[in-house]
Chains A and B, each alone.
Chain A
Amino acid sequence: MMTMGIDIGSRSSKCVILEDGKLLTYGTIETGPNILKTAQAVVEAAVHRRAGKWGEYRMPLPETKVDHLKIEDMACIVSTGYGRAIVPFAHRNITEITCHCRGAQWFVPGVTTILDVGGQDTKGIRVGPNGEVADFVMNDKCAAGTGRFMEIVADALHVPLPEIGPLSLKSTKALPFSTTCAAFGRGAAVAMLKEGERKEDILAGLHQAIATRVTALVKKVGIADKFAITGGIGRNVGMVSRIEQKLGGLKVTLPQEPMIVGALGAALFALDRARKHGAEQPKSMKPVISNQ
């Protein structure tokens, strides 16, 4: 029985397909302005095994041929992420907090605290004794301390996103970087370049600033011993090592593929539902007009 999880994030979208709870394939793409097209495209990316601009596949995938799979082949589809309510072919949508909590436990059994830094939001989640969400915090007012902040600065410095983390670790002096507004990030980075500063030192300051901000956020839910980082930030070695420093050397457990944690959680919820209620009827591909 195949189930699908789709995570339509603010910056990137992910799709995971499971066969009886085992990972069959996944894909990631950039979120476009049209959610319906994005949802269709990310399914395409999964069946054709395309990982998009975020780099190579990190998870081993079975050799099974998957490029013939269709949405109708899925026993159940669950959507999550900020665009979750507008995915027309999803049978159900579940919030990203719940999906991240579920997906993180699949990757990191026994995880107690999760820091998820995505494109435009940052969440801290504490996992309860039965795997439920015991507490969570999130940035809801502004994009300071999110992936977008890093993207803006990377863009201003003309450094490809996957390279900023490794480059930041080459720094010899971290320049002070404001943690307040992501939009000031561009100006601040350009100003430092104009003063003749090196890119690695600017990036080191940026990573420090964001690490400070996100650790402060996750501390609000309380950090217990098994701590995992999910979302695009988990692919950034510069961020992970600095967050570990800020937490006094606490070892972070990284999911092998941190970006797909939410989509994987959604696919697991889809499996639960399909097992309980049997396979769902395929839903219409027409766009959902009303979003509540």
Chain B
Amino acid sequence: MAVVGIDIGSQNTKAVILEGDEILGGASLETGEPAETEARMAVQEALKQTGLKREDLKAAVATGPLSVPVTKAVNIAGLKQRSAASCIATGAYFRFPQARTVLYVGADTSMAIRLSEDGQVEDSVKNERCAVSSGSLLDIVSRMLEIPMAEMGAMSLQATAPQTVTSRCVVFAEGEILSFIHKDPPVPVPDVLAGVNQCIVDGLWSMVQKVGVPSELLLCGGVVRNAGIVKAIEAHLGKPALVPKQPQYVRALGAAVFARQMEREGGAS
């Protein structure tokens, strides 16, 4: 029986379709449409990859900061909401049961979670008050330097002398970075990008330390597609981290796993 997990993030809406242990399809959209429309479109997109129809989806779980209004739009009888933390933990445990710590880095929010051996959330911290340890600084820099987000990671790896960013506020950092570019001679772009990564990761790492890393660390969320961010985290960790191939789908996958559970329980009763 196929089920769907929907993750309405602050920037992108993701949908993952799961049947048993197999991921049949996934889609990520950034349309600027209202949340419910975008959710419906993401589900449609994901369905296209599977050959299934919406009626074939027997359960759905939505998560993310905007999950509330999607209920009606998706029009699946059994739709529930689960918290972002539990979906990240569940999605991570589904693919990487060996990871006891998960660091999720999204466009605006980040979260470090420690899991029990059976995949339950034991402890978690979130960036509630400040955006510096999230994707938002990358987004600002990407616009400022007109470098596509997808290219920033590889470019930052070319750095020879990373430029330290001292501000601990994205808004102040924006001004600081602007001054690097307008120096005479300007700071090379890869060095600026590596400094930006370091600035973000310093904040992230203190979150990871709060929950601890008893064994493996899994990185997820759209931002960890940036290889420079991963490298900077691994420098703190002192060993390679686990990174899924499509880290942006972990939270939606977690929602889908909850939907599967719901469907099974519903089927049993």
Query: Which A residues are closer than 8 A to B by beta carbons?
Result: 10, 33-34, 120, 141-143, 146, 148-149, 152, 180-184, 186-187, 190-191, 194-196
Contact = CB atoms under 8 A, between A and B. Distances in A.
A34 B178 CA distance: 9
Interface in B130-182: 130-132, 134, 136-137, 140, 168-172, 175, 178-179, 181-182
A183 B35 contact: no
Among A120, A149, A181, chain B packs the most CB atoms within 10 A around the CB of: A181
A142 B130 contact: yes
A195 B69 contact: yes
B228 to A, nearest CB: 20
A235 B10 CA distance: 32
Given A33-B178, A194-B34, A195-B34, A187 B171 contact: no
B65 A142 contact: no
6 contacts: A181-B129, A181-B169, A182-B131, A183-B140, A184-B136, A194-B33
Contacts of B128: 180
A34 B182 contact: yes
B172 A142 contact: yes
B181 A142 contact: no
Nearest to A82: B175
B171 A183 contact: yes
Q: Determine the interface band of chain B, counting residues with CB < 8 A from chain A.
A: 20 to 34
Contacts of A186: 136
A191 B11 CA distance: 9
A273 B107 CA distance: 51
Contacts of B171: 120, 142-143, 146, 148-149, 152, 182-183
Contact of B10 (A141, A143, A182, A191): A191
A176 B150 CA distance: 34
B7 interface: no
B66 A183 contact: no
Contacts of A181: 129-131, 169-170
Contacts of A183: 108, 131-132, 134, 136-137, 140, 170-171
B224 to A, nearest CB: 19
Contacts of A182: 131, 169-171
A186 B32 CA distance: 13
Nearest to B69: A195
Given A33-B182, A181-B131, 4 more contacts: A34-B182, A141-B168, A191-B65, A194-B35
Contacts of B132: 183
A122 to B, nearest CB: 12
Nearest to A31: B175
Interface string B161-205: 000000011111001001101100000000000000000000000
B13 to A, nearest CB: 10
Interface pairs A-B: 8 shortest CB-CB: A183-B131, A143-B171, A142-B169, A33-B182, A180-B129, A187-B108, A183-B170, A187-B10
Given A183-B136, A187-B108, A191-B10, A143 B182 contact: no
Contacts of B178: 33
Interface string B232-251: 00000000000000000000
Contacts of B108: 183-184, 187
A195 B130 contact: no
Contacts of B129: 180-181
A33 B179 contact: yes
Contacts of B137: 183
Among B11, B35, B181, chain A packs the most CB atoms within 10 A around the CB of: B35
A34 B66 CA distance: 40
B131 A184 contact: yes
Contacts of B33: 194
Contacts of B175: 10, 120
B68 to A, nearest CB: 8
A93 to B, nearest CB: 18
A186 B137 CA distance: 12
A285 to B, nearest CB: 16
A181 B172 CA distance: 12
Nearest to B168: A141
Contacts of B11: 187
Contacts of A141: 168-169
Nearest to B170: A183
Nearest to A148: B171
Nearest to A149: B171
